[in-house]
Amino acid sequence: MGAMASVIVLAGGSSDEREISLRSGAAVAEALKLKGHEVQELDPSQPIPPDTLKQADVVFPVLHGAGGEDGSLQGQLDALQVAYVGSGVAASELCFDKWRYKQFINSHGLPVPHGEIVTVDTFWQFSLVSKPFVFKPYDGGSSVDTYLHRSGLVPKETIADIFTRHPKMLLEELVEGTEITVSVLGDQALPVIEIIPPSGGEFDYTNKYNGKSQELCPPEHVSAELQQKAQELALKAHNLCGCRDYSRTDIMINSAGELYILETNTIPGMTTQSLFPKAAETTGISMEDLCDRLVQMALARKTT
């Protein structure tokens, strides 16, 4: 049994992933209370006094998107010398910027799909637009404003509309095949989860949270050898980027059995529906034990 702690769970925030964050935060807070921790839930969409944060033994940020996952909050907590769950500033910044992340892990030999950063003026100049492609914000998550194009004419209105919200976007070759995700807890890769979108649908923002995608653990269409390879890749990405405590790396496997890393999430979803808790559960780690373990990792870093 680990030490009891006073924990502030930060959830909500003002990014476009606020709703999922609130659901994650509620699930984490509930789990920690069941473990006997003293838990306070706060929403940083309103400024939180530094003294409030300093009173906690551990801060558990469950914020997705800008302001939570991009390193800014981590910088504030570091300045206050408050122990917190998850990756520090540098790893958070790196993984949040999907373009920088891609270039970084690729320069270390990890496989990523071909991609370009595009603006409204340069989008049509790239040959990628004539092939199946993914069009997504380079600095967001939860599949908000992500567009997948498989065939036919590219809808100019959809593309133009997305550019009204994002001056720059990531245009990426669409890897057709099996989507999997690999969670890392501490220094261990958890079992691989295969994601099967609803027939004719994509694993987009809606399908990710409406329960219509199937998540298979163990995977049905991925060999044991490829699962092991994926776990090794996720662990490499986690360590290479300097991630801490936990992360979740999304990977595509094409028809030739080649693996391509899409992204690493430094604050994965923690709702009861989320992939990270599901992966932990398959190894016998309950939601309560999982959240408690993450708090104990943060406590162990406290210098005082």
Q: Which residues are catalytic?
A: 17, 142, 209, 248, 250, 263, 265, 269
CB 170 within 8 A of CB 98: yes
Q: Where are the beta strands (DSSP E) in 33-90?
A: 38-42, 58-61
Q: How are beta strands 259-265 and 246-254 bridged, if at all?
A: antiparallel
- Residues whose CB is less than 8 angstroms from the CB of residue 5 and which lie 6 or more positions away in sequence, other chains included: 37, 38, 56, 57, 58, 295, 299
For residue 192, what are the CA distances in angstroms to 240, 243, 265, 277? 20, 19, 15, 12
Nearest CA to 64 out of 261, 224, 267 is that of 267
Q: Which two tokens stand for residue 253?
A: 């496997």
